[in-house]
Structure formats: structure tokens, C-alpha cells
Amino acid sequence: MNSNNIISTPLAIIGAGPIGIELAVNLKRQGLDYLQFDANQIGHTISWWPRNTPFFSTTERVAIAGIPFQNNHQTRVTGEEYLAYLRHIIEMFDLQINTYEPVIAVEKDEAGFLLTTSQRGAQKQYRAEKIVLAIGDMHWPNKLNIPGEDLPHVAHYFNDPHDYFRKRVLIIGGKNSTAETSLRCWRAGVDVSISYRRAWFDETRVKHWLMPDLKVQIENGMIGFHGSTVPVEITPEHVVLKPTDENGVPIPDAEPIYHETDFVLFHTGHRGDQSLLTSLGIGLEGDNNQPTFNPDTMESNIAGVYLIGTVTAGVQQRYRVFIENSHEHVGKVMAHITGTELEEGLGTLPKRNYHLDFDQFKAN
């Protein structure tokens, strides 16, 4: 590719979720040049949430760049409402984002970083002095890789209860998504059953307003529950469930359970694409493959590469990093690249700001 066609920028942001957008707002406010890319549309992860699903966090915690989130019910925001809020911020600040232009390669050289993107099948190149990875950590579903998992009636994403009206659905999982989906489907006229590898839910990991409701419906036989089971095979007519021990591990000699169902829905979590991190040489540490970075500046072990948002947590087996405790990442990056003091309370709203100790939570 001709070097004359390479566009140069002081800073490239890869990812246009809430925290990537928050960084762009702060750069725009200070009149700093940058380019921003996303492989899909803005807030893509939120766009595949089930319709009408509210955030776990309250509105003041997921508002970004100090822009209040107002709605007509003063309660938790749904995914659809939040995407509208993000669109409003982008138009309010006239942020320019290269959506549907995935960054497919990043190479470090003496001049900084050479980014290669793909846009409608054509490759483009950009040169950046520094880059910020705000790519999130939920690119693909965690699959069990069992026979039949790719059959047409099996899904890893839940769209709407209407899809399963007057049908039988077996939901695999035992955390927030399973609880919420089960209750919504049951109330929409779906015959719902749950398979979970533990004997019962960890009630500290399910939203506190869902657990009592779910417990009542299971105890009254409204929602079926196969505790201490895991699926080992899926056929067009049924799912083969294997009993598990106290650690959730299948018992080899245990008699299988054949559960007849019309649909199978997996809620087994998601994992991030860490290929850009590894290609750049960013270290990954521990069971969560947490990337190496300086918590005071958010700069990785590769000079000039910064990490913000949930990508900093690696593969979160128990979620500790969310939108609401990532605002400070933006402030630290801004302080480091501009040489200014870290702005206190960045991304929060006056008189509605408070600190939460996330170590006390075992979130979904």
C-alpha cells in the first residue's frame, strides 16, 4: 500500500463502547486530534442484549462525560434507552467514529503504530503515535462444544420471549441472565426449564429483585429446575443431561436425564477477543488472562498502548470491571497523554456521585 495514502493521527481509539466514547468526548473538549474505530456500530455489545432488559447499574453510574441521563421513569435504563443516550452524546459533540471498520492488525515501529483496517472488503492504513484499546470483553459466547450445540433450535443469545411463546425451552446457566430470561419467558407463556451445574444458585450473584421471584416459581413448579446437571448432548428432540458432583463436574457413571424440549438457550457467559493484545505483545496474567498495565496511567507494558474499560479485566470469570468503575480510566489516560492533573470525579454527575467498593459484590 502506498505510504502517501496512510492517514496519520496523534491518537487512535479502537472501540466505541461507552468508555471509548467518553474518552472521545474528553479529547474533543480539549481540542485534541484523534481517530476512532469500531468493528460494528457504536455500543455493539449492548445492541445484542435482549429487548427491554434493564442495566444492573443505576442511571447515574452509567452516565458518561458528566452528561445526565434522564428518562420518564427515573429507574434503571434499558439497553435501547442507553443506545439512544449514546447516539445523543455523539451528535451533541459531533464525534466522528469510523464504524463498521474493524482494526485487523496493529504493528509497532519506530514512528509509532501502523493500523490496518477493513472497510467493505478494502483495506486501509493509518499511522498513530499512541493507541487506546477500548474493545470490551464480550465478543463471543462461551461454548461447551458438545454434540448438537450448533443445531438450528440452539441459541447462545436471547432476543425476546415472544420467540418461544407456547414452546418448551431449556435454559443452560445459573446467573443473572438465566434468572431474568426464565421469568420473562414464563410470564410470556413459555414452558421453561433450567439446567444448572450446581445444586442451587449462588444468590449473591443474581439481582436481588429477581431471586425471590425465581425461587417462588421454581418451588411452585411453574419453572422446571434440574440442579446439579450439565448438558452433554443435544438432539432435535431432547437434551441429554448428566448429573454433577458438588463441584459441578459430571459424574461418569451417573444415569443421564433425557429432557425433551423445543429450544435450547445457553446463558454460559461470553469471552473477549484478545488477539490484538497478544499481537502487540501485551502480557496476559493469571487465570483471567488480565492484560499488563500501569493502574496509575492505564499504559500497558507496550509503551504508547493504553487500555480502558472492561478489556482491562481480561476474561472476567467474576465480573469486577463495569462501565461505572471505568470512568477513572479515561481520566488517567487524559492526564498521562496531556500532562495535566487527573480530573477528580471524571464522568460523574455533581451531587449524584458516590464511591462503590466493587470487591464487596459478586456481580453477574
Q: What digits encode the pLDDT tens for the residues 151-193?
A: 999 999 999 999 999 999 999 999 989 999 999 999 999 999 9
The domain segmentation of the chain, as residue ranges, is: 3-139+270-360, 143-266
**Would you state the pLDDT for residue 223?**
98
Domain 143-266, second-level architecture: 3-Layer(bba) Sandwich (3.50)
DSSP string, 290-302: EEPB-TTT-BBSS
Percentage, residues of the chain above pLDDT 70: 92
Percentage, residues of the chain above pLDDT 90: 70
DSSP string, 222-244: SSEEEESEEEEEE-SSEEEEEEB
SS (H, E, C) 95-149: CCCECCCCEEEEEEECCEEEEEEEECCEEEEEEEEEEEECCCCCCEECCCCCCCC
Pairing between strand 238-243 and 229-234?
antiparallel
Specify the CATH superfamily of domain 3-139+270-360. FAD/NAD(P)-binding domain (3.50.50.60)
Question: d(Cα 310, Cα 313) in Å, to the nearest integer?
Answer: 6
**Would you state the pLDDT for residue 61?**
85
**Would you state the pLDDT for residue 362?**
43
pLDDT at 361 over 80: no
Question: d(Cα 223, Cα 234) in Å, to the nearest integer?
Answer: 21
pLDDT one-digit tens code per residue, 252-288: 999 999 999 999 999 998 887 899 999 999 999 988 8
- The model's confidence at residue 345, banded by pLDDT at 50, 70 and 90, is low
pLDDT at 102 over 80: yes
**Would you state the pLDDT for residue 238?**
98
pTM over 0.85: yes
**Range 64-86 burial, b when 16+ CB lie within 10 A, else e:** bbbbebeeeeeebbbbebbbebb
pLDDT at 359 over 60: no
- The model's confidence at residue 303, banded by pLDDT at 50, 70 and 90, is very high
- Which residue in this structure is represented by grid cell 459424574? 251
Is 3-139+270-360's fold the same as 143-266's? yes
